[in-house]
């Protein structure tokens, strides 16, 4: 599965508000990033970006009240990057 497909599936799981599916898609994307060899520098950079976003999204579930504002900004940035990776950027 491509990076774009993983990003799309994470966004789709988020949009239907299914926590189990969301966690599964995060796990699948992380597994893909860690296992699959990159064929180009561009793909390597996309894979590293997806891995970083997934780790950020997984970490934001345990944020304290003091970190909630930065967490909201991080979520917003993470989802914007997923949209970019999925090629679903609004024109």
> What are the structural domain ranges in the chain?
3-85
**Residue 30 burial (C-beta neighbours within 10 Å; 0-12, 13-18, 19+):** middle
pLDDT at residue 25 in the model:
97
Query: What is the value of pTM for the model shown?
Result: 0.80
pLDDT along the chain (91 residues), means of 10: 93 94 96 82 91 88 53 85 81 39
């Amino acid at each position: 599965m491509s990076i774009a497909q993983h990003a799309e599936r994470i966004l789709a799981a988020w949009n239907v508000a299914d926590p189990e599916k969301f966690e599964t898609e995060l796990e699948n994307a992380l597994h893909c990033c860690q296992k699959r060899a990159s064929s180009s520098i561009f793909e390597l950079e996309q894979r590293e970006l997806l891995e970083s976003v997934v780790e950020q999204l997984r970490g934001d579930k345990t944020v304290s009240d003091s970190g909630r504002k930065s967490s909201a900004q991080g979520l917003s940035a993470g989802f914007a990057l997923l949209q970019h990776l999925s090629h679903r950027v609004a024109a």
